[in-house]
Structure 1
């Protein structure tokens, strides 16, 4: 595997045609597809470390592709549960966290020990549980988004599409700040639904 940050990731060539299809991917779906293609290397490590290395390789390739797509006027939206190539790119679209991008573009993070991977997972789990919506915030979001309880991912996604279409910065009536705000709320609502 490459040891510096500038070396291209060989998985990028296998992932590129999947992104161009236009569908929304999740990291584990990309991993399953790449395993079928025999594009992922066989890793001789513990199961936990192998999963982290496989995820690192995919995310590294995605962030490298994101930079390439930007120069072509497209935007590659990257999160573990929503990976999508957006052709009608607007520089005002919400971007991913720079810390996440920096982490996955640094090849030193590829060869973590089992203990380091376990520590990262523990930190991630702690952050997730601390981000759980309070009932007060959930009620406010339900009212603002005009959703019915109990929350349902299908209804949240449908409402997101309507709101995103209404407030997208490229629309005449769009508003960059509101769009960014509802995108953040959407992520919170999705996380909450998935935790149920």
Structure 2
């Protein structure tokens, strides 16, 4: 199925060849059919992102071999002179977004995808100074009132509660807030991929 956003995105890329997925999505919000794709806010966001990524990958195939469209979440770039065989590599993300069956993903699957993404993001290599011992982690879990097998969703909810409580604008102190933020970063690196 041909994505209706391809022409819109192509025009944006002609005028400005470098984008990010979220900036492209924001630029496309003037399209009324693009704003309300689902009543569930998580699914709406997922569907918007899916349509943008699907359009980008379809456009990538249409432009090749004359132009190269590099696609990454934080860097989308239209290149006038493509490198040799740039589209021949296998790309699991491209395969995922070109499969229209993924557009109607369930809320549970979206939660799992997000949890998996954030856990992978949080578990990227860190310096020795950023790592915590099992005892330190246990103390943080008690202080944050989290279960041992907490999920990213549980951690984010607790973070928002503590951030509001300790923020300098809400009668907290700057030093308290910085401690909470640091602890949050440490706990993100140890999340579970449990769904709920």
Query: TM class, shorter-chain normalised?
Result: 0.5 to 0.7
- Alignment correspondent of 2:80: 87
Give the count of matched residue pairs.
130
Aligned pair in 2 of structure 1 residues 10, 25: CA closer, same or farther (>3 Å)?
Answer: same
Q: Please give the alpha-carbon distance, in whole angstroms, between the structure 2 residues aligned to 1:17 and 1:65.
A: 11
TM-score by length of 2: 0.60
- Alignment correspondent of 2:115: 122
Aligned pair in 2 of structure 1 residues 54, 97: CA closer, same or farther (>3 Å)?
Answer: farther
Quote how far apart the aligned CAs of 1:126 are. 1.3
Structure 2 unaligned spans of 5+: 130-187, 189-196
Q: Which residue, 39, 42, 53 being the options, matches 2:36?
A: 42
Cα displacement string for residues 77-101 of structure 1 (whole angstroms, at most 9, x for unaligned residues):
1011101100011126598861000
- In 2, are the aligned partners of 1:49 and 1:113 still within 8 Å (CA)? yes
Is 1:17 matched with 2:43?
Answer: no
Q: Please give the alpha-carbon distance, in whole angstroms, between the structure 2 residues aligned to 1:92 and 1:108.
A: 28
- In 2, are the aligned partners of 1:25 and 1:82 still within 8 Å (CA)? yes
Q: Which residue, 111, 129, 141 being the options, matches 2:104?
A: 111
Structure 1 unaligned spans of 5+: 1-6, 137-194
Aligned pair in 2 of structure 1 residues 60, 97: CA closer, same or farther (>3 Å)?
Answer: same
Q: Please give the alpha-carbon distance, in whole angstroms, between the structure 2 residues aligned to 1:18 and 1:122.
A: 31
Is 1:65 matched with 2:59?
Answer: yes
Aligned pairs for 1:143-154 within 5 A? none
Cα displacement string for residues 123-174 of structure 1 (whole angstroms, at most 9, x for unaligned residues):
11111122234469xxxxxxxxxxxxxxxxxxxxxxxxxxxxxxxxxxxxxx
Quote how far apart the aligned CAs of 1:69 are. 1.1
Quote how far apart the aligned CAs of 1:43 are. 1.6
Structure 1 outlier segments of 4+, above 3 Å: 92-97, 132-136
